[in-house]
Amino acid sequence: MLERITGPRDLDALTPEECVELAADIREFLIAEVSKTGGHLGPNLGVVELTIALHRVFDSPNDPIVWDTGHQSYVHKILTGRKDFTDLRKRGGLAGYPQRSESVHDVVESSHASSSLSWADGISRAFASTGKQDRHVVAVVGDGALTGGMTWEALNNITDDNDRNLIIVVNDNGRSYAPTIGGMARFLNGVRVTGGYRDLQEGSERLFNNFGAAGRTVYRAARGALRGFVSRASGNQDLYANLDIKYVGPVDGHDLAAVEVALKQAKGYGRPALVHVITEKGRGYAPAVNDEADQFHAIGQINPDNGAPLSASSERGWTSVFREEIVALAHQHPKLVGITGAMLRPTGLDGFAQAFPQRVYDVGIAEQHAVTTAAGLAYGGLHPVVAIYATFMNRAFDQVLMDVGLHRAGVTFVLDRAGITGPDGASHNGVWDLAMLQIVPGIRIAAPRDEATLRETLGEAVVVEDAPTVIRYPKGSVGVPLPGLWRTEDGVDVLYAGEQTTAPAEGPLAVSADVLFVAVGPMTRTALDAAAILAEQGITSTVIDPRWVIPVMRSVIDLAATHRLVVSIEDGLRVGGVGTTIRQELREAGVDTAVSELGTPYEFLEHASRDELLEDAGLTAPQIAAEIVEQVHGTRLPAARPE
């Protein structure tokens, strides 16, 4: 059946029985192909029937489909003519998320959750105001995304204007990365368990009871306004009668015929409608269904027969080091608490939660709320550690600035997957944090270079009570230890100084050379390799790791004064990055040493491997050495080191 599908309209000719056969074919295809490349397998196995039904009922791209989040769009790609998964998430191959350059059927590329309803709100308003009444907009939102406040802001506005064709599909599988949390999740879980809704009073009271005493107070005050809120008598009654949005469901998301009927019903209203579809993450693949941790949310290469990884890395990862160290620190510091946004296991806070379940809070996909909650926890006498991916820190900048920074709150942010991550593409590269966060007055940012410095800087961060602190590290292995030769009084490590292996007798800052490398976190290894290449060319250099890169330490300025050229290397934006701040600090200190600021380009990076993207950015040791030789001697090294 899959061979017959080259575009969405090929689905129109299929019988219901053929659609069921197609769904089975797609699942076999996904398991076979994604097991070779890695990717988001579990979420896509759960939306096979839903995606087929969407494309049979709606006319994409005339009727835009917005995926929230885009990791559940593999089936959509298959049905819109993209069946070559050979290089999924690799350079030149299919992106792991919707991508406009791939297809007109892809609308929204960013895969930061909870934004789909706002997109759909804007698109549908545009269609209505330009006379395109025949076009519909569909937002497919995972139930995990309902934990994000942006979803509810959008819903409030969507229901303010009913004269447009907008359908919200809630893909309810009870999970985001892990089981979805919160009062709304408990309410939806009750729907899944009972298979329907009870009467108005019981249903609405149950919803607000999930939010505790405050919720019960709100319910009593609003009981009259909620009349008609939920009705078991008819599945298509208003979910929120006072908001004027039509409700259809709950529908078995793996019953193709039922899903089609529900979508057609919603389409026929001519006003905003919500279709509640219950699905199973990992559907049809036992290893995924039986995986209680995340149901194969994102996998590497696996054996498709049993789901076992083809190669288990023996190298320690940054996340695993944090997982261990935060537990050790929690034993030492009883006021330490953890916060995350639906990423307990991916960030490594799960170990803390297992050891101290009452001291870790998962707030769902709600980073803004997480950060301001952390400010409140700090005010109350605790020290919160907010652990999220670096790319998701972007979502909470105002809260970091105004709620944490302005109030000098002792909050530690641990940013996993900082810098270039690679295969997940533009929205998931964590290259914005250094440029963005360092403008917060009083903030302190550390970029550990190895396991020892991660443990060390984390320990230093959690005792800072008068300012926000940040620990940022990349995805992957921590690599071999990189010990320092000596440390300055303000904590800067000197890692390489030519033949000098101990601090000079005149003092730790009595070092001079042609080039001073200021390396940020994982770029320390690159700086050391570049220094070795320069030594072969007769160019002397010093390599330092500030550990705490913001604020710029005084010893960095003093060392810069004894070198001809300062080269800062970071895997974050070079525009407004650490290098820019170093240059500004040198100018203010009256140090006229030239500064070369190396970092990622001022652009969105397409999906590719981390190594490929680093090379594109000129951030490999041979490339850096070649640029320095040109600056120092006016000549250029070959692209690679000579044999």
- Each domain of the chain, given as residue ranges in start order, spans 60-70+93-196+235-283, 318-472, 486-633
Reply yes or no on whether the pLDDT at 9 is more than 90.
Answer: yes
CA angle centred on 335, ends 334 and 336, rounded to 5°: 90
Identify the pLDDT of residue 222: 42
- In this model, does residue 197 exceed pLDDT 50? no
DSSP state of 443: -
Q: Could you list the residues known to form a binding site for thiamine diphosphate, using ranges.
A: 71, 111-113, 144-145, 173, 285, 367
Give yes or no for residue 594 having a pLDDT over 80.
Answer: yes
Q: Say yes or no to pLDDT of 257 above 80.
A: yes
The residue-averaged pLDDT of 64-77 equals 89
State residue 633's pLDDT score.
Answer: 75
Please tell me if the domain spanning 60-70+93-196+235-283 has the same topology as the one spanning 318-472.
yes
**Comparing 598 with 281, which gets the higher pLDDT?**
598
pLDDT score, position 429: 85
Q: Are strands 336-340 and 383-389 parallel, antiparallel or unpaired?
A: parallel
Return all residues near 271 (Cβ < 8 A) that are at least 6 apart. Answer: 162, 163, 164, 165, 166, 244, 246
- pLDDT (0 to 100) of residue 2: 87
CA angle, 572 as apex, 570 and 575 as ends, to 5°? 100
Residue scoring higher pLDDT (72 or 54): 54
Known binding positions for Mg(2+) = 143, 173
Q: Which two tokens stand for residue 635?
A: 């000549």
Of 90, 345, 395, 547, the catalytic one is: 395
DSSP β-bridge partners for residue 202: none
The pLDDT assigned to 212 comes to: 59
Q: What is the pLDDT of residues 373-384, one digit of tens each?
A: 999 999 999 999
Average pLDDT over residues 453-477: 96
Of 382, 487, 402, 483, nearest to 443 by C-alpha is 402
Q: Taking the CA atoms of the chain, what radius of gyration do you get in angstroms?
A: 27
pLDDT over 90 (residue 462): yes
Q: What is the distance, to the nearest Å, from the Cα of residue 127 to the centroid of all Cα atoms in its chain?
A: 31
Catalytic residue (one of 82, 164, 281, 475): 281
Strands, sheet with 383-389, edge to edge from the N-terminal-most edge strand: 360-362, 336-340, 383-389, 412-416, 469-472, 444-446, 548-550
Distance of CA 134 to the CA centre of its chain: 35
Phi, psi angle pair for 191, to nearest 5°: -65, -45
Of residues 280, 325, 367, 570, which has the active-site annotation? 367
The binding site comprises 71, 111-113, 143-145, 173, 285, 367
Residues whose CB falls within 8 Å of the CB of residue 446, separated by 6 or more in sequence, listed in order:
457, 460, 461, 469, 470, 471, 472, 547, 548, 549
**Into which CATH architecture does domain 60-70+93-196+235-283 fall?**
3-Layer(aba) Sandwich (3.40)
Across the range 20-28, mean pLDDT stands at 93
* pLDDT mean over 110-115: 79
Q: Which residue has the tokens 């290089």?
A: 87
Asked if 530 contacts 429 with a C-beta cutoff of 8 angstroms, the reply is no
Q: Is the pLDDT of residue 175 over 70?
A: no
Secondary structure E strands in 72-142:
137-142
Mean pLDDT confidence for 584-599: 95
Predicted confidence band of residue 240 (pLDDT cuts 50, 70, 90): very low
| pLDDT-derived band at 247, boundaries 50, 70, 90 | confident
Summary mean pLDDT of the chain: 85
Q: Is 90 a catalytic residue?
A: no
pLDDT digits (tens, 9 = 90+) for 295-350: 667 767 877 777 787 776 667 899 999 999 999 999 999 999 999 998 899 999 99
pLDDT at 61: 95
Region of poorest pLDDT, from 41-50, 322-331, 452-461, 591-600? 41-50
The length of the chain, given as a count of residues: 643
Q: What pLDDT does 334 receive? A: 97
The pLDDT score that the predictor gives to residue 523 is 95
Instruction: Compute the average pLDDT of residues 481-498.
Output: 96
pLDDT of residue 202: 45
Single out the residue of 414, 444, 433 nearest to residue 337, CA to CA: 414
Interval 227-244 mean pLDDT? 40
How sure is the predictor about 216, in pLDDT bands with cuts at 50, 70 and 90? low
The domain defined by 486-633 carries CATH number 3.40.50.920? yes
Superfamily of domain 318-472: Thiamin diphosphate (ThDP)-binding fold, Pyr/PP domains (3.40.50.970)
- Mean pLDDT check: name the lowest of 254-258, 285-289, 324-328, 452-456: 285-289
Indicate the SS3 state at residue 561.
Answer: coil
Which residue, chain included where needed, has tokens 């010893």? 555
User: How confident is the model over 434-463, as a mean pLDDT?
Assistant: 97
Residues 6+ apart with CB under 8 A from 643: none
pLDDT above 50 for 226 = no
The H or E element spanning position 22 is helix 16-37
pLDDT at 144 over 50: yes
- Cα gap 427→429, rounded to integer Å: 6
Does the annotation mark 83 as catalytic?
no
36 in active site: no
